[in-house]
C-alpha cells in the first residue's frame, strides 16, 4: 500500500501545558536551526528510500509549530514541499497556538500550500486556561480565526478539552455555545487524560488535582454530541466532528490503519508494515541523523495478528465502523474467524451493532470504547 500521509514534528513550545505529554521542549536556547536542517536531511533520506509516493495529507504538529519564526517555519515548509510529491488535492495542516501567529506567518504558509489550520483553543474560560497552563486568552482564538479567514484559509479546526480541573457542565456548555458560533469547519474534542511526565500527573499523585467525576464527564460528552448534531457538525469519529466534506483526511489515515511517514524528534511512522519510533531527546535525534541519516530508536515489524487487531480497534473509532468486506479483502479472513466469539459477546452487551455489512459502536459503545477495543486484543 502506498504511503500517502506525512507527519512532521516541531517539538518547541514557548509554554509547556500542564496536561501535555507530547515530545516537547522550551523554545528558549534550543538549537532550532540545526534541528530544522536535520529534519530536512531526514526528509531527503526518507524520500530516497521510499520514492514515488503521492502524498495526499501533510500534518505539521508539535509542540507548537508557530512558535518558530516566519523564516524558520518557511524553511521547514519549503523542505516538505520540495521533497515530497503531493497530489493536487493535498490536505496540508499546521497546528497553530492562538496568539502565536501573525498575518505575515499565515500568508507565508498559504504560499507554500498549507490549506488547513488546527487551532488549540481548549476552553473559552480564562480561569481554566490558566489552570491548564495555556498562555493564550480567549480573544486570541477569535483574532487568529479572523486573520486566517482574511488571508484565505477556508478549512479551520478547533481543539477543545473537557473534564478539566473543577470544570462545570455549565462552563463546558458555554464553551460549546461559543464554539458553534465561530466560522470553522471542524472540531476535535478530547477529555482530559492525566498522563505521566506531566505537571497534572505530579499534582494528581500528591492529591492536589480536583477533576470532575466520570458521571459528569459522560454528561459533558453527551452534551458535546448533542450540540454538534444541532449545529451541523457531523460526528465521524469518537472525538471528531466536521461540516460536510471537511473530515480530516490525515486523522482518517490513522483510523483506517493506513501507512504514514513520521519526521522529527519523537515522531512515529508506519511504512511497509513496520512501525518506527524516532529518538525523542534532541541530542539523540540530532546525533542519530548525523551518524546514520535516520533517527530511529525502535523498529517493530507489525505481524498479521497485530494488523487485524489494529484494524478493529482503530476502525471502530470511526462512526462509519468496519466493513466486513474490507476486512475480508485485506486479511483473507472474516472478522468472526479472526475474533471468534468477540462480536456476539459485544452485541449481547449492547456495545456494538452488526448488520452483516458493517460493525459499529452503539451509543453505549461510544461511551465505553476502551472496553470494546480491549476485546480485540488477541491472545498469543
Same-domain pairing of 209 and 98: yes
Same-domain pairing of 24 and 153: yes
Q: State in Å, rounded, how far the first CA of the chain is from the last one.
A: 27
**Phi, psi for residue 102 in degrees, rounded to 5:** -115, 180
Other CB atoms within a 10 A radius of the CB of residue 257 amount to 20
Same-domain pairing of 88 and 177: yes
Same-domain pairing of 85 and 197: yes
- Angstrom distance (rounded) from CA 298 to CA 74: 30
Domain boundary residue, one of 231, 255, 279: 255
| 297 contact partners, CB below 8 Å, separation of at least 6 | 277, 278, 279, 280, 284, 288
Candidates 219, 224, 153, 148; CA nearest to 187 is 224
- Angstrom distance (rounded) from CA 255 to CA 232: 22
How high is the pLDDT of residue 318? 97
Same-domain pairing of 120 and 17: yes
Is position 346 within any domain? yes
Q: Which sign does the torsion angle of CA 210, 141, 266, 25 carry?
A: negative
DSSP H/E element including 313? helix 304-315
Is position 333 within any domain? yes
How high is the pLDDT of residue 23? 85
Q: Strand 358-361's sheet: what is its strand order?
A: 322-323, 358-361, 352-354
- Angstrom distance (rounded) from CA 275 to CA 271: 7
pLDDT in tens, 14-65: 888 999 888 889 899 999 999 999 999 999 999 999 998 899 999 999 999 9
| Angle subtended at Cα 216 by Cα 159 and Cα 346, rounded to the nearest 5 degrees | 85
Same-domain pairing of 73 and 197: yes
Same-domain pairing of 251 and 333: no
pLDDT in tens, 197-246: 899 999 999 999 999 999 999 999 999 999 999 999 999 999 999 999 99
Is position 327 within any domain? yes
How high is the pLDDT of residue 1? 72
Same-domain pairing of 174 and 238: yes
Same-domain pairing of 241 and 309: no
Domain boundary residue, one of 255, 276, 295: 255
Is position 118 within any domain? yes
- The CATH number given to whatever domain includes residue 366 is 1.10.10.920
Candidates 70, 132, 139; CA nearest to 107 is 70
What are the pLDDT tens digits along the chain (380 aa)?
789 999 999 999 988 899 988 888 989 999 999 999 999 999 999 999 999 889 999 999 999 999 999 999 999 999 999 999 998 899 999 999 998 899 999 999 999 999 999 999 999 999 999 999 998 999 999 999 999 999 999 999 999 999 999 999 999 999 999 999 999 999 999 999 999 989 999 999 999 999 999 999 999 999 999 999 999 999 999 999 999 999 999 999 999 999 999 999 999 999 999 999 999 999 999 999 999 999 999 999 999 999 999 999 999 999 999 999 999 999 999 999 999 999 999 999 999 999 999 999 999 999 999 999 999 986 54
Same-domain pairing of 234 and 316: no
- Domain of residue 316: give its range: 304-374
How high is the pLDDT of residue 88? 86
Is position 233 within any domain? yes
Same-domain pairing of 85 and 161: yes
Domain boundary residue, one of 225, 255, 285: 255
Same-domain pairing of 330 and 194: no
Is position 292 within any domain? no
- The CATH number given to whatever domain includes residue 78 is 3.80.30.20
- Angstrom distance (rounded) from CA 22 to CA 17: 10
Is position 124 within any domain? yes
Q: How many domains does the chain have?
A: 2
Is position 223 within any domain? yes
Amino acid at each position: 500500500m502506498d504511503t500517502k500521509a506525512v507527519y512532521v514534528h516541531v517539538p518547541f513550545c514557548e509554554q509547556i501545558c500542564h496536561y501535555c505529554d507530547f515530545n516537547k521542549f522550551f523554545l528558549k536556547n534550543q538549537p532550532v536551526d540545526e534541528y530544522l536542517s536535520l529534519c530536512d536531511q531526514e526528509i531527503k533520506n526518507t524520500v530516497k528510500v521510499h520514492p514515488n509516493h503521492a502524498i495526499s495529507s501533510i500534518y505539521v504538529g508539535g509542540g507548537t509549530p508557530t512558535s518558530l519564526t516566519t523564516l524558520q517555519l518557511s524553511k521547514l515548509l519549503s523542505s516538505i514541499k520540495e521533497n515530497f510529491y503531493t497530489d493536487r488535492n493535498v490536505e496540508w495542516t499546521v497546528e497553530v497556538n492562538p496568539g502565536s501567529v501573525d498575518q505575515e506567518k499565515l500568508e507565508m504558509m498559504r504560499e507554500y500550500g498549507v490549506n488547513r489550520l488546527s487551532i488549540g483553543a481548549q476552553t473559552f474560560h480564562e480561569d481554566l486556561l490558566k489552570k491548564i497552563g495555556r498562555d493564550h486568552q480567549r480573544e486570541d482564538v477569535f483574532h487568529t480565526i479572523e486573520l486566517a479567514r482574511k488571508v484565505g484559509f477556508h478549512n479551520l479546526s478547533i481543539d477543545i478539552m473537557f473534564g478539566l480541573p473543577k470544570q462545570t457542565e455549565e462552563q463546558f456548555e458555554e464553551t460549546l455555545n461559543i464554539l458553534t458560533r465561530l466560522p470553522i469547519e471542524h472540531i476535535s474534542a478530547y477529555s482530559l487524560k492525566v498522563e505521566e511526565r506531566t505537571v497534572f500527573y505530579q499534582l494528581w499523585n500528591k492529591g492536589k488535582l480536583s477533576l470532575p467525576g466520570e458521571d459528569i464527564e459522560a454528561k459533558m460528552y453527551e452534551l458535546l454530541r448533542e450540540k454538534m448534531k444541532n449545529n451541523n457538525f457531523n460526528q465521524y469519529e469518537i472525538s471528531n466532528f466536521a461540516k460536510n466534506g471537511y473530515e480530516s483526511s490525515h486523522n482518517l489515515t490513522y483510523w483506517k490503519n493506513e501507512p504514514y511517514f513520521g519526521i522529527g524528534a519523537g515522531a512515529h511512522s508506519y511504512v511497509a508494515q513496520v512501525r518506527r519510533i524516532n529518538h525523542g531527546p534532541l541530542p539523540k535525534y540530532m546525533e542519530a541523523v548525523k551518524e546514520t541519516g535516520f533517527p530511529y530508536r525502535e523498529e517493530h515489524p507489525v505481524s498479521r495478528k497485530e494488523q487485524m487487531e489494529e484494524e478493529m480497534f482503530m476502525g471502530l473509532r470511526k462512526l462509519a465502523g468496519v466493513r466486513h468486506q474490507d476486512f475480508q479483502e485485506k486479511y483473507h479472513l472474516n472478522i468472526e474467524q479472526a475474533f471468534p466469539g468477540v462480536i456476539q459477546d459485544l452485541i449481547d452487551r449492547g456495545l456494538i451493532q452488526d448488520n452483516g455489512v458493517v460493525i459499529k459502536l452503539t451509543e453505549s459503545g461510544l461511551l465505553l470504547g476502551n472496553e470494546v477495543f480491549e476485546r480485540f486484543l488477541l491472545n498469543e
